[in-house]
Amino acid sequence: MMLIALLTTALLFGGMSLFSFGFAAFLFTALPAETASPLIRKAFPHFYLFVIITSAIAGFSMIPHDLTSSFLLLAITLTTLFARQILMPMINAATDNGQTKRFKVLHTASVVLTLIHIAISAYVIVRVANL
């Protein structure tokens, strides 16, 4: 079970990092904004679903080995559910309604949340590696 937990946490860390620093950045440098924006908007529900499933598997797999790491991973699951079901629709509505200031605030919250998730998953990998 520990191996599943560790590998799934590594997949979570790598997937979030690649999407955030690779895919999203690439889209906006390779495509015009009017093409990249709708594409990234369609990708986010899938990204969030990946994070929800992966962090849940990692979190539940970690329970027998390290409750702190399990709690942290399951916190990622819950806060990503919030991001996917509540925050993302609010960001999309702000964009659709031309609410630039509201979009910036909500988008910043989403970016900060993702960076926190990446940091937590990195912490868990290091923590488990040192058990």
| Structure token pair of residue 96 | 């659709």
Domain extent for 98: 2-129
| Predicted local confidence at residue 1, as pLDDT | 83
| Structure token pair of residue 49 | 């679903």
- Structurally, how many domains does the chain consist of? 1
- Give how far the C-alpha of residue 72 lies from the chain's centroid of Cα atoms, to the nearest Å: 13
| Predicted local confidence at residue 131, as pLDDT | 80
Per residue in 5-42, pLDDT (tens digit) is 999 999 999 999 999 999 988 998 999 989 999 999 99
Q: What is the mean pLDDT of the chain?
A: 96
Confidence label for 85 from pLDDT (cuts 50, 70 and 90)? very high
For the segment 124-128, the average pLDDT, to the nearest whole number, is 96
Q: Looking at the whole model, is its pTM more than 0.85?
A: yes
Angle, helix 2-17 to helix 100-129, in steps of 10 degrees: 150
